Amino acid sequence: MTSTLETSGQSAAPARVATKRHYLMCRPDHFTVAYRINPWMDPAVPTDTSLAVAQWNTLYETYLSLGHTVELIDQVPGLPDMVYTANGGFIIDNVAYGALFTHPERQPEGPAFMEWFREHGYEVAEPANTNEGEGDFLLVGDVILAGTGFRSASNSHEELGEIYGREVVTLTLVDPRFYHLDTAISVLDPLTGDKTANIAYLPSAFDTASRLELEKRFPDAILVSEEDGAILGLNSISDGYNVVIANRAVGFEKQLRERGYNPIKVDLSELLLGGGGVKCCTLELR
């Protein structure tokens, strides 16, 4: 039984505060599915680049309408997955830890993103270990949650801890559909210094030790349904109040409202053919 805000009295949802964010996106001018490096991708299924651009544009306009700043990186022809900028690096305090991609198909993206970071005044930390940026590294309050199992190697977690001097918590993913951490966890209040920062996650995407760690650290987390998880519903972006989510994530939408967040639904069905959603198309520049 879930109690509603009206009847729960003392446990009413806290007031949520939105803060302005700074994002990096890549218009999918050369989007297609040309290879298969995750179970969502099937090169035999046709893609519609103009539809991908139109859907991406709705996401872009949504961020602008919320008052966020969005920078753009040009998509390099022949690198169709560049639209998923979340994998291009990880940035805190102007220091960008570069990505070193797992699959050869995406490896040229690493230097392309690092060049953009340098040109835009970020200090670049060249990676020594395989990692896919914010796809696997999520800042929650002062702690970095770091995924491994499919893409980022666990020695990149150590590297990350040395670069930023913050606590890094390793979490192991076990379901190939949820190959990046941002497909299984959504950071709802991602501000540095916020001790009450909360998350939403899909427990079945993790091994037992990681599940226990998440239960211990985030006792008030939103646990999403398998249905919402299975359409990459967790792959979302929050500014602390507004949470941009997949339009099909109806259960998650309800859970967010109950907690006092404002879910905003967008349709990125075409980009889902590459195995990515809202979060994958967005890199936070801190």
User: What residues line the site for ligand ARG (CB under 6 A)?
Assistant: 37-38, 41, 81, 84, 86-87, 106, 135, 180, 182-183, 274-276, 280
What is d(CA 209, CA 204) in angstroms, rounded to the nearest whole number?
A: 12
**Which of left, alpha, beta for 242 (phi over 0: left; psi -120 to 50: alpha)?**
beta
132 or 159: whose CB is closer to ligand ARG?
Answer: 132
Check 30, 68, 157, 180 and give the catalytic one.
180
Q: What are phi and psi of 60, to 5 degrees?
A: -55, -50
Question: Residue 52 CB, nearest distance to ligand ARG (Å)?
Answer: 12
Question: Residue 276 CB, nearest distance to ligand ARG (Å)?
Answer: 3
CB atoms within 10 A of CB 175: 17
Question: Residue 203 CB, nearest distance to ligand ARG (Å)?
Answer: 18
Question: Residue 168 CB, nearest distance to ligand ARG (Å)?
Answer: 18
34 or 169: whose CB is closer to ligand ARG?
Answer: 34
Question: Residue 235 CB, nearest distance to ligand ARG (Å)?
Answer: 6
16 or 277: whose CB is closer to ligand ARG?
Answer: 277
What is d(CA 286, CA 94) in angstroms, rounded to the nearest whole number?
A: 6
* Sheet of strand 242-246: strand arrangement: 237-238, 242-246, 262-266
87 or 130: whose CB is closer to ligand ARG?
Answer: 87
281 annotated active-site: no
157 annotated active-site: no
16 or 272: whose CB is closer to ligand ARG?
Answer: 272
CB atoms within 10 A of CB 173: 24
Residues classed as catalytic: 180, 280
